Amino acid sequence: MSDRVSIKIPRPLYVRLQQVIGGESGFSSPTDFIVFVLRDLVGTLEPERTGELSDDELVAVRKKLENLGYL
């Protein structure tokens, strides 16, 4: 089974993309560009991980810092 699937997009958009990425964009094809944009977009739609500590982690961190003599 191929690792790739085909997705249809309007031809005018495809032609426009060809023109846009023709310069020094760093993308070698409209497909490259579309995959890049979609991957980026999907990333923003996934639940955001936060740098916040959970309640259990807070207890553990506090204990660790107390053991180090910092708290």
Partner 1 sequence: MIKAHGGRLISRIANDAEQERWRAELPNLKHVTVNARELSDVAMIATGAMSPLEGFMERRDYEHVCEHGRLANGLPWTIPITLAVSSEMIAAENISIDDTVALQGEDGTVYAIMEIADIYKVDKDHEAQSVLKTTDTAHPGVAYLQKTGDTCLGGRITMLQRPANIEFEDFRLDPRETRFLFKEKGWDTIAAFQTRNPIHRAHEYLQKCALELVDALLIHPIMGETKSDDIPADVRLECYNALLKGYYPAGRVAMSILPAAMRYAGPREAVFHAIVRKNYGCTHFIVGRDHAGVGGYYGTYDAHHIFKEFEALEIGITPLFFDHAFFCNSCNNMASQKTCPHDSDQHVFLSGTRIRDMLSNGESLPAEFTRPEISEILQRHYSNETTSVSS
Residues that bind partner 1 in the complex, under the rule CB under 8 A: 3-4, 26, 35, 39, 43, 48-53, 58, 61-62, 64-65, 67-71
Between 15 and 32, name the residue whose CB sits nearer to partner 1: 32
Pairwise CA distance, residues 22 & 2, whole Å: 28
Closest distance of CB 12 from partner 1, Å: 26
Closest distance of CB 41 from partner 1, Å: 13
Tokens linked to 63 = 């204990």
Rounded to the nearest 5°, which phi and psi values hold at 55? -60, -45
Between 9 and 53, name the residue whose CB sits nearer to partner 1: 53
Pairwise CA distance, residues 12 & 7, whole Å: 15
